[in-house]
Amino acid sequence: MPPKPRKTATPGRLIGYARVSTEEQGTDPQLDELRAAGCNSILEEHASGADRERPVLARLLRDIRPGETLVVVRLDRLARSVSHLLAVIEQLEMLGAHFRSLRDPIDTTTPQGMFSLQVLGAVAQLERALIAERTKAGLRAARKRGRVGGNPGLRARDPDAIRKVCSSRDKGPSRRRAGGTGHVAADRAADAPRPALGRRRARPESGAGGPLDR
């Protein structure tokens, strides 16, 4: 009696994300590659890579389902920095979704793709350490020369300076709330501190990383 064929899990749908920085640029080349890769649906966005307020990406990350895969043509179409990329991928993994970049060796459904992701995390961690060391060296050199960092008005207890700082802090949360819940959720995911990658669901630290796109 011949053995019964093993059942394989049906892969989830592929969701493409195409982004250009200005209205004058077109997404057609990205759309062609994403369709050729088998994307069932494609979302388009016109926004700078450095812009945190990307409503289409925020909605995609909010609505994606377990088993589905977010696909981009290149990494710089999705993230503004390595740390932002790692934060988005971690958010997808927490939802049971995956990520793939067509022109880069990143595919979180494969061991090779996860290895590449861990290398990116190690690079980001090294960069954070180098930045911290340069910052400490600069502060030490400034202190030797009698210069002290910070706001001079605050150090002098100037009422006007204190009022300006308090006013700026009060306006920050209201601006985020005005952007919508999807934006706030994406911002919180990008801002949350994360340990170094070492496991499938390890949470990389955000707040640093070189720019992927302008």
Q: pTM of the entire structure?
A: 0.55
**One of 21, 41, 116, 206 is an active-site residue; which one?**
21
Is 174 or 23 the better-scoring residue by pLDDT? Answer: 23
The string of pLDDT tens digits covering residues 17-46 is 999 988 778 899 999 999 999 998 999 999
Q: Which domains does the chain carry?
A: 11-150+181-214 (3.40.50.1390)
Residue 104 scores a pLDDT above 70? yes
pLDDT value of position 182: 42
> Does the annotation count 48 as an active-site position?
no
Backbone angles phi and psi of 176, in degrees to 5: -65, -40
